[in-house]
Structure 1
Amino acid sequence: MDGEREAGAGIAGRAGHYASADFLCRLSSRAMDPGATSLNGAVVPMRNRFRGGLRLVTLGLGVSVVPLDTAVNISFPDITGSFGLPLAMIQWVIICYVLTHAGLMLAFGRAGDIWSHGSVLRAGLAWSTVAFILCALAPSFGWLLFFRFLQGIGAGLIISCAPAVVTSLYPETRRAHALGIFTLMFALGSAVGPLIGGALVARWGWPGVFWFRAPIALTALVLLHGLPAASGGRGERFDIAGALLLACGIVALLLAINALPRLRDGDYLGPVLIAAAAASLAAFLRWESRIAHPIVQIALFRNRAFAAITLAGVLMYLVSFSVLLIVPYFFVRYTALPLPLAGALLATGFAAMAAVSPGAGWLVGRIAAERIAPLGALVTGLGLFLIGEWQPDTPPQFMLFALALQGLGMGLFQVAYMEIVMAASPLAYRGVAGSLSMLTRTIGVVTAAAGLTLAFQALQGAASAQGAGEAQAFLSAFRNLFHAVGIAAALTGAMVAWAARRPR
């Protein structure tokens, strides 16, 4: 079978034994069969470049409805004001959405492996179209949360199979280039979301951030037809029990991360949820090891290099989220920058990521991905460390440079990381591989929202205890936190490089 031959560098059957310590090097896209695409082993020659480019643009349009959810963040004050809510309640607008797509992503990716990645993605576009309209029409906050849950299902369907569909449009020798294009799509959506959201909220209120995405999803659904539908997993049974155990484990874990900061207030829900997550995930691992067609090939994680790059993905998304979490407060409270300029500066990282992504795909296609990933982590760390050097009178040009450096590094890392994960997985599990690369992003962001907030408050409190004023305490915590996450990013790159070279 062609798919099995192409996957031989990563896995030999279900056992997943690797031939040597340098398997990441040998899994580079240069070693793949140039005559087939990566979707379900289907052969899709790129004869018509214009038609292929148009399909790629349409696919990018459809995928963009997920990262464009950054537009919702700018609508939070209007949502709380419209429904008369305390500020703390707004977190459930995020939680209901994020936990849903995070818990279902791997299962949806496996469904795409069995029945067709294109069909799952188009189902997500149809579902999302309805969910956006329902969110915009929500008559109460409770209904809005329920419709956000429905929106999370649509997002899970889309992003679980999007990487597999994008790579299916290119030969395997250009898989890294395809992943660069996917990173470009995601970064552009994330960058323009707040800009569009601000304009829509000012004109139509919070429903506007949902209304505008419904026609985008519907247009992509109508135009995205004829995607390769053959599947190497056709005829397999979908593992419903495994999907439920995995979803419960991931949701409980993310809820536990969110609840842990309240432990100091006497709220012990966090440890209870951690125990529930551990029990569910342990049952999932035991179940998956006993069935013929598991959702996730557990054998992959027995390899040190693959486990290290997966952990590195979580860590890099964690440290990078510090920019969106802390920098806005620095801009608003301690600089005289106009809000439009502050917003433009904040989008610099996404813009740099988008700009470098196609080039990163080109580099990964010519240099082993395990070399580009540590480089990207190091550049990201340097950018984060330089952010820690900011003062209220720092010139905007220096701020722009530091943020652009961080975004450039993340662009390099993300493309290389996704290439390693996709290359290590057989074609029959390409949807799961893409889902895994997206799930690490979610886990990193949720962990950052809880962990980095606690860390910043602790650093600020320590500075205040030493007699620092409010402004000095904030700036001290700002400097120490960004220095710490910058060093952590560099150490993460070193870990990836070490794991790739070290024998099993």
Structure 2
Amino acid sequence: MTVLANDGAAPGSEGTRRRSVPVAIAIVAASLPMFMATLDNLVMTSALPVIEKDLNASVSQLQWFMNAYTLAFATLMLSATTLGDRWGRRRMFVGGIGLFTAASIASALSTSAGLLIAARAVQGVGAAAIMPLSLTLLVAAVPEAKRAMAIGIWGGVSGLGIAMGPVVGGAVVDGFSWQGIFWINVPVAIVAVPLAMYALRESTGRKQPLDVAGVALAGLGVFLAVWGIVHGNDDGWGSFGVVASLVGAVVALGLFIVRERTTPHPVMPLRLFRSRSFSMANVIGLTFSIGIFGAVFLLSQYLQIAMGFTPFEAGLRTLPWTAAPMVFAPLAGFLAPKVGLRPLLLTGLGLQAGALFWLAARIGPDATYASLVPALLMAGIGMGLTFAPNATAVLVDMDAPDHGTASSTNATLREIGVALGIAVLTAVFLAAGGALTPLGYSEALTPALRVGGCFVLVAVVAAWFVPTRK
């Protein structure tokens, strides 16, 4: 099966010379850079105990190693989509790969916590141009009859990238050094850039001015919210700085909504939320990410601190969770046209919520790894059944010119969920007396996992309202 690729021209514009590209090559070209970007969401989790000692980092800085990336990622995805619509989606996609790779090199060369946080933020800027445009370019490259299958594979790769982060990070840290988790992005980029230029067609969307004020308000609101949550336990939830940041977040996000309702060229068009499928998919993406990825952040370190495994050993022991999406995400993409989106989402999210509550019940000073395996497997199967149907629900009611904005809106909310999940669940962990000791970590992890499970239950409720269409 092949698709027609246009050599550097948008549909309907000049440059109509076309050539055949196998569907499989188009899927790899769109998915490989996206895998690289999603992998770096959590690739540092297994390395955090090592980086803490090497750079003398505080607990707050450990969170910012993660959140500097996810906040830049989340804040700028919509802007990257808008610029891609104007300048060319493939051009922005390839530019994002280049910036991401340069920032990866800077991260590897960092000699202090502050430099690493700054480099991670620039990495997030590059990833912001990769993630949403990868899905838009893939949808344009694949015939409609094969689209659900392609999105299923893309969803599996996306979930695999996030879930494999602890495994890859642990393997590289044990076999080389923590800097190696950033160096591995360089050969991937060397392959990804020419592959994207060959297999993906250049295209544009609605050309409109960039809503700079909207981008600034959204970024400020999310940053202040995460800053307040991260500093709540250390500074006191009633302290002036924490209260001011949380109030500022509410004000900034409120002004963002007003701005998007009134500006003629919104960065996040609120009209898209008239689609119930789109709205519920975004609620699912936000709340599921808060619960699951906040839990992954804490569990990856639990296996090292409380159970005594090395980074690589800890990464291997997450495989019941991380390997399952490789099988079940493509399966979900295949089943979606036959059974509908709602049953798959309800099943996948229900399994993940149940897995977090199961883990919360089993984790303790005397817990064994074997007792955790069924819950880890449940979480992995559930994740595989969630990614592709939710990505499909985002686009199912959208016109083709809105695909980029719709997918980037969903990706933005998911990344905000990752940042909030790390901040919220870590805040619960610290409030419960969490400490980087075996006993202190085990006892405080239980309430954090329960809170994560409650967020995933909110996603289950939202899945009930996803339209039943097949």
TM-score by length of 1: 0.78
2:456 to 470, 485, 489: 489
2:378 to 389, 402, 405: 405
1:150 aligns with 2:117: no
How far does residue 478 in structure 1 lie from its aligned partner after superposition? 5.1
Tell me, yes or no, if the aligned pair for 1:188 and 1:351 is still in contact at 8 Å: yes
Q: What amino acid is aligned across from residue 412 of structure 1 in structure 2?
A: L
Q: Per the alignment, in what secondary structure is the counterpart of residue 178 of structure 2?
A: coil
1:56 to 24, 27, 40: 27
Cα pair distance change 1:326/1:133, threshold 3 Å: closer
Q: Per the alignment, in what secondary structure is the counterpart of residue 293 of structure 1?
A: coil
Tell me, yes or no, if the aligned pair for 1:36 and 1:42 is still in contact at 8 Å: no
**Aligned position for 1:420:** 393
Partners in 2 of 1:386 and 1:221 — Cα distance? Answer: 43
**Aligned position for 2:262:** 290
For structure 2, list consecutive stretches of 5 or more residues without a partner in the other structure: none
Partners in 2 of 1:291 and 1:330 — Cα distance? Answer: 47
1:314 aligns with 2:296: no
Q: Per the alignment, in what secondary structure is the counterpart of residue 65 of structure 1?
A: helix
Partners in 2 of 1:331 and 1:202 — Cα distance? Answer: 15
Tell me, yes or no, if the aligned pair for 1:40 and 1:428 is still in contact at 8 Å: no
How far does residue 352 in structure 1 lie from its aligned partner after superposition? 1.0
1:433 aligns with 2:406: yes
How far does residue 127 in structure 1 lie from its aligned partner after superposition? 1.3
Partners in 2 of 1:297 and 1:118 — Cα distance? Answer: 22
> How much identity, in percent, do the aligned residues show?
25
**Aligned position for 1:13:** none
How far does residue 98 in structure 1 lie from its aligned partner after superposition? 2.1
Q: Per the alignment, in what secondary structure is the counterpart of residue 74 of structure 2?
A: helix
Partners in 2 of 1:36 and 1:205 — Cα distance? Answer: 41
Partners in 2 of 1:302 and 1:431 — Cα distance? Answer: 17
How far does residue 285 in structure 1 lie from its aligned partner after superposition? 2.7
1:67 to 38, 55, 60: 38
Tell me, yes or no, if the aligned pair for 1:173 and 1:365 is still in contact at 8 Å: no
How far does residue 298 in structure 1 lie from its aligned partner after superposition? 0.6
Tell me, yes or no, if the aligned pair for 2:152 and 2:329 is still in contact at 8 Å: yes
Aligned pairs for 1:376-395 within 5 A: 376-390=348-362
Tell me, yes or no, if the aligned pair for 1:118 and 1:229 is still in contact at 8 Å: yes
Partners in 1 of 2:383 and 2:247 — Cα distance? Answer: 33
Partners in 1 of 2:306 and 2:109 — Cα distance? Answer: 38
Q: Per the alignment, in what secondary structure is the counterpart of residue 396 of structure 2?
A: helix
Partners in 1 of 2:237 and 2:360 — Cα distance? Answer: 30
**Aligned position for 1:351:** 323
How far does residue 124 in structure 1 lie from its aligned partner after superposition? 0.4
How far does residue 399 in structure 1 lie from its aligned partner after superposition? 2.5
Q: What amino acid is aligned across from residue 142 of structure 2 in structure 1?
A: Y
Q: Per the alignment, in what secondary structure is the counterpart of residue 296 of structure 1?
A: coil
1:129 aligns with 2:111: no
Q: What amino acid is aligned across from residue 170 of structure 1 in structure 2?
A: V
Partners in 2 of 1:268 and 1:314 — Cα distance? Answer: 28
**Aligned position for 1:89:** 61
Tell me, yes or no, if the aligned pair for 1:255 and 1:273 is still in contact at 8 Å: yes
Q: What amino acid is aligned across from residue 382 of structure 1 in structure 2?
A: G
**Aligned position for 2:180:** 208
Tell me, yes or no, if the aligned pair for 2:294 and 2:424 is still in contact at 8 Å: no
Tell me, yes or no, if the aligned pair for 1:258 and 1:446 is still in contact at 8 Å: no
Q: What amino acid is aligned across from residue 389 of structure 2 in structure 1?
A: A
Tell me, yes or no, if the aligned pair for 1:113 and 1:430 is still in contact at 8 Å: no
How far does residue 358 in structure 1 lie from its aligned partner after superposition? 0.5
Partners in 2 of 1:142 and 1:323 — Cα distance? Answer: 25
Partners in 2 of 1:87 and 1:432 — Cα distance? Answer: 35
Tell me, yes or no, if the aligned pair for 2:63 and 2:422 is still in contact at 8 Å: no
TM-score by length of 2: 0.83
Q: What amino acid is aligned across from residue 463 of structure 2 in structure 1?
A: V
Partners in 1 of 2:82 and 2:149 — Cα distance? Answer: 24
**Aligned position for 2:428:** 455
Partners in 1 of 2:100 and 2:290 — Cα distance? Answer: 27
1:76 to 25, 30, 48: 48
Partners in 2 of 1:76 and 1:488 — Cα distance? Answer: 25
- Count residues with an aligned counterpart: 455
How far does residue 439 in structure 1 lie from its aligned partner after superposition? 2.0
1:107 aligns with 2:71: no
Deviations 1:413-441 (CA, angstroms, capped at 9, x unpaired): 22222211122333212122222222222
Tell me, yes or no, if the aligned pair for 1:387 and 1:402 is still in contact at 8 Å: yes
How far does residue 351 in structure 1 lie from its aligned partner after superposition? 1.3
| CA RMSD of superposed structures (Å) | 3.6
Deviations 1:294-335 (CA, angstroms, capped at 9, x unpaired): 222212335666434322221111221353244346544665
Tell me, yes or no, if the aligned pair for 2:107 and 2:119 is still in contact at 8 Å: yes
Q: What amino acid is aligned across from residue 87 of structure 2 in structure 1?
A: W
Cα pair distance change 1:400/1:297, threshold 3 Å: same
Partners in 1 of 2:141 and 2:93 — Cα distance? Answer: 14
Partners in 1 of 2:196 and 2:359 — Cα distance? Answer: 41
Greater radius of gyration (CA): 1
How far does residue 86 in structure 1 lie from its aligned partner after superposition? 4.1
Deviations 1:99-151 (CA, angstroms, capped at 9, x unpaired): 21111111112222333322211110111222222222335444333322221
1:233 to 206, 215, 218: 206
Cα pair distance change 1:139/1:185, threshold 3 Å: same
Q: What amino acid is aligned across from residue 441 of structure 1 in structure 2?
A: R
For structure 1, list consecutive stretches of 5 or more residues without a partner in the other structure: 1-33, 462-469
**Aligned position for 2:334:** 362
**Aligned position for 2:347:** 375
1:249 aligns with 2:251: no
**Aligned position for 1:10:** none
How far does residue 362 in structure 1 lie from its aligned partner after superposition? 0.9
